[in-house]
Amino acid sequence: MATVNAHITGNVWKIEVKVGDSVDEGTTVAILESMKMEMPVDSEVSGTVTAILVKEGDSVKEGQPLVELG
């Protein structure tokens, strides 16, 4: 199992995947908003989304897991 983590502190603006989706390395799984800029969060590995750990609008810290991949 792997997780895709936030690379900055900010707010979850949009979730781009749902449970069961297959993602490849480089696929955007979420978009964070920080300092009025939208920052995509890309998966570093391929896998299937097994859980989404945040909701749109949530505040997240750098390093916080956003999505689990199986």
Q: What is the pLDDT of residue 64?
A: 98
Q: What is the pTM of this model?
A: 0.93
Segments making up each domain of the chain, as ranges: 2-69
8 CB-contact burial (10 Å; exposed 0-12 / middle 13-18 / buried 19+) = middle
Nearest to 32 by CA among 69, 53, 59, 52: 59
Q: What is the pLDDT of residue 32?
A: 98
Under 8 Å between Cβ of 70 and 23: no
One-letter amino acid identity for 56? E
pLDDT, averaged in runs of 10, over the chain (70 residues)? 96 98 98 96 98 98 98
Strand residues in the chain grouped as ranges (E):
2-5, 10-15, 22-23, 28-34, 37-42, 47-52, 59-60, 65-69
Domain 2-69 has CATH 2.40.50.100: yes
